């Protein structure tokens, strides 16, 4: 899309059979007021009309890849490898950026040049998710706003973390954050609550995943990353008690 402009942001969209929502995602990226970006689309060999919809916006996309993959995190990795911008952001099919998103994030990058990543506030169906509290990563998912639409990481910092680990099917993003924040000690910041950068589509990948399998994988990720076994046990007991109905399904 932006071959004549500088590429500061690399926006990666992954999709498979998203014919009903892919257009709004592409449009939201194309309508950004800050124009120094590329938009990379990774399609997992859709069997519906997704690619027909994508072709309508070919001029708005820098790169289009359509091939079978090993899941959503494999698609993320493909997009990251193809990215050429200074900062990377993932915007899943169905999620949308607000028109001043990149402008807001660029303002923070300019002001806080020592930061490796930025979490922007994101609107979900039940309210606004905002802030960044790294100390909570050891016991809760509630340390950040959103992985899709809200998370911007410097490409040089992303290289330090590495790619998403494909042995994790449901929570490879949590493993990614843990490696980034705890293992590599990357530094981040968040936008203010009212500085909403995007809207999160209800019914995404995580909401369709079986709770019990997600729960067990989260514990495995904690164990694999060397968390204290007593703490892991306490987290397990608390979550089973709190989400007993979901766990028993």
Neighbours of 1 (CB within 10 A): 20
**214: nearest Cα among 247, 242, 181:** 247
Band of pLDDT at residue 103, cut at 50, 70 and 90:
very high
Question: Could you tell me if 188 and 181 are in contact, meaning their C-beta atoms sit under 8 angstroms apart?
Answer: yes
Three-class SS of residue 133? coil
Domains in the chain (CATH in brackets) are 9-203 (3.90.550.10), 210-249 (no CATH)
The Cα–Cα gap between 222 and 216 comes to 10
Three-class SS of residue 43? strand
Q: pTM for the complete prediction?
A: 0.90
User: 221-247: per-residue pLDDT in tens?
Assistant: 999 999 989 998 998 888 887 765 555
Neighbours of 191 (CB within 10 A): 24
User: 137-191: per-residue pLDDT in tens?
Assistant: 988 888 999 899 999 999 999 999 999 999 999 999 999 999 999 999 999 999 9
């Amino acid at each position: 899309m932006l071959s004549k402009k500088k590429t500061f942001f690399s926006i990666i969209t992954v999709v498979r059979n998203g014919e009903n929502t892919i257009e709004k995602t592409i449009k939201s990226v194309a309508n950004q007021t800050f124009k120094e970006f590329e938009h990379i689309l990774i399609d997992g060999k859709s069997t519906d009309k997704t690619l027909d919809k994508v072709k309508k916006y070919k001029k708005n996309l820098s790169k289009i890849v359509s091939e079978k993959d090993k899941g959503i995190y494999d698609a993320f990795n493909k997009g990251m490898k193809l990215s050429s911008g200074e900062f990377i952001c993932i915007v899943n099919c169905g999620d949308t950026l607000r028109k001043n998103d990149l402008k807001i994030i660029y303002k923070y990058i300019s002001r806080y040049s020592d930061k490796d990543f930025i979490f922007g506030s994101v609107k979900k169906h039940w309210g606004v998710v905002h802030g960044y509290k790294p100390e909570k990563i050891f016991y809760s998912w509630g340390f950040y706003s959103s992985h899709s639409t809200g998370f911007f990481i410097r490409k040089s910092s992303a290289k330090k973390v590495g790619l998403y680990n494909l042995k994790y099917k449901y929570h490879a993003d949590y493993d990614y954050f843990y490696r980034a924040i705890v293992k590599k000690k990357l530094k981040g910041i968040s936008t203010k609550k009212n500085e909403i950068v995007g809207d999160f589509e209800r019914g995404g990948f995580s909401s369709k995943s079986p709770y019990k399998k997600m729960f067990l994988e989260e514990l495995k990720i904690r164990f694999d990353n060397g968390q204290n076994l007593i703490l892991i046990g306490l987290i397990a007991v608390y979550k089973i008690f709190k989400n007993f109905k979901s766990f028993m399904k």
